Amino acid sequence: MASSTSQRMRPLSPHIQIYLPQLTSVLSIANRITGVVLSFYAVALVAWLMSAAAGPQVYSTVHGFIRSWFGQILLFGCTYSFFLHLCGGIRHLAWDAGYGFELRTIYASGWTVVAMSAALTLITWVASMGLAG
Amino acid sequence: MGRERMRSPLGRALGLGSAKDGVEQWWLERVTAIALVPLTVWFAASLVVHMNGDYATAIAWLRTPLATTLMVLLLAALFWHTALGLQVVIEDYVHSGLRLPLLIAMRICCFVLGVAGILAVLRICFRG
């Protein structure tokens, strides 16, 4: 019993920071990050509803903030996070149902998520500005 | 896709999952996700169409039976999904003794926010 299995040097898998970012890994963590970000926006949604319930004065204060440049940046971040999480989530649901696991399909659906989330964000803002203006 | 198919044949035969409801949270996260697809898209589209920053317009829209009903459903599904999602995040990254208090605090926050949001919608709806 010269060397037991526990004493021998075991091969280690490379740490996650060694890997180059890939579309698959980036979208995976992006879905999680946008999920966490959107939970903060969910708090803002409740605050907005409560301000509407509180009356016109409180509501106009909240809307003044939303309309400020900082509020608009936050709202844009919310829109993009939402559409990224929505498109990424639909991709995950397809996987959960057992579809789309071929490498080629994974990359095609991944780029579709990137393109669709950007397009939907843009469409939403253009439509919103068009209807408001 | 039945929930039972997520289990191994042996687990199903013995009726011994992890406390017999091992896939429950995973499953509910998907169910709430599917519910949130139409609800959030409806909400985003409604904001684009109805919101111009005017208080009266916002209230008039929120008071319609359709908007009130869908907003309540949206808030319920949203905070349920949020709680399940954040639970996975906390379980994956928090390994200290903070994990359990954090999980409980997160659950309480989601519950309180969901109730507060629903009550705000109902208050707008039923106020004379």
Q: Is the pLDDT of residue B20 over 70?
A: no
> Chain A residues contacting B, CB < 8 Å?
32, 35-36, 38-39, 42-43, 45-46, 49-50, 52-53, 56, 59-60, 63, 66-67, 79, 82, 86, 89-90, 92-93, 96-98, 124, 127-128, 131-132
| pLDDT tens profile B75-109 | 999 999 999 999 999 999 999 999 999 999 999 99
Nearest CA in chain A to B38: A86
Decide if A52 and B37 are in contact by the 8 Å CB cutoff.
Answer: no
Query: How many residues does the structure list for chain B?
Result: 128
Integer CA distances (angstroms), B43 to B66, B73, B108, in order: 11, 11, 25
At A57 the pLDDT is: 95
In chain B, the domains with their CATH numbers are: 35-126 (1.20.1300.10)
At A4 the pLDDT is: 60
Please give the Cα distance from A103 to B120 (Å, whole number). Answer: 47
pLDDT category of residue B123 using cuts at 50, 70 and 90: very high
In this structure, what is the dihedral angle of CA atoms B22, B24, B26, B29, given to the nearest 10 degrees? -160
Decide if A131 and B48 are in contact by the 8 Å CB cutoff.
Answer: yes
In chain A, the domains with their CATH numbers are: 22-39+68-132 (1.20.1300.10)
Q: Which of B59, B62, B117 sits opposite A45 (nearest CB)?
A: B117
At A1 the pLDDT is: 46
Region of B53 on the Ramachandran plot (φ > 0 left; ψ -120 to 50 alpha; else beta): left
Please give the Cα distance from B13 to B20 (Å, whole number). Answer: 12
User: Which pair of tokens denotes residue B86?
Assistant: 């954040």
At B16 the pLDDT is: 60
